[in-house]
Structure 1
Amino acid sequence: MDALEFHLADEAATDRLARRLAPHIRAGDVIALHGGLGAGKTTFSRSLISALLGARTEVPSPTYTLVQTYDGPDFPIFHFDLYRLEEPDDVMELGWDETMDGLALIEWPAKAGDHLPAWRLDLTLEQTADGRTARLVPHGEDWQTRLHGI
């Protein structure tokens, strides 16, 4: 399997995709969220974090703080927004190395440069005339296996 693609007609469809992915998430996972401004990266992240925490949780955008952390029942969740990052090495000041035992959701992952792990799930969101498209590209055999259940 190379990639999965979904048409998301509205925000509710984005929420459903995040909730379908949630049971397949494990400690140590990295999800790199690609897409332009307004493509739905934060919307997807909010839905996934809420699904993992088991409740409707306040999930603010990490645009200004660069990272928001959450204590999940099984592992911590780190939600990064690297849009304003100036240098890739700046991720180290955000607790980047602490994410290995949790889930790292990374908006604007290209800003991490070589710090972005090769073993990850890339999720690209693109706006279309009738909603958005979500493309999931697994990097690593484990991700490919887990995506079969989506």
Structure 2
Amino acid sequence: MNLRGLVSVTGKPGLFKLVGQNKGGFILESLDKAKIKTVVNLSTTKMATLEDITIYGEEEEIRLLDVFEAIKANGGNTVDVKADGNTLRDFFREVAPGHDESRVYTSDIKKVISWYNIIKELPLFEEEAPAPLA
């Protein structure tokens, strides 16, 4: 799974693809149907690549990519983000065993599910991640 150019921006819903950089900051394109381009200034906005995001674990942090892989291995089926908290929590126990239930909130689970549903149709989702630079 190669999600290197995909980012989450604090305060903005959805996911974005990093398409360039200019003097004002990074140029992002939304991954929804609107494909809106926006410029994000890093001095005022926080941004995180999906590859860098982790989820609180009981013993160690769980990489978001590992959760996405577990969902994909489970047939790619998710629960409705509008499902009740118990249904969401049960689903997350399957795909992210060992997550810290006291620090991973229902809103976090909903975000992971919605992100998965956004990216599952993207060609990057099927690509292998490039090898890290030595």
- Give the alignment's TM-score, normalised by structure 2: 0.26
Greater relative contact order (CA < 8 Å, ≥ 6 in sequence): 1
- Give the alignment's TM-score, normalised by structure 1: 0.24
Larger Rg: 2
More helix by share: 1
More strand by share: 1
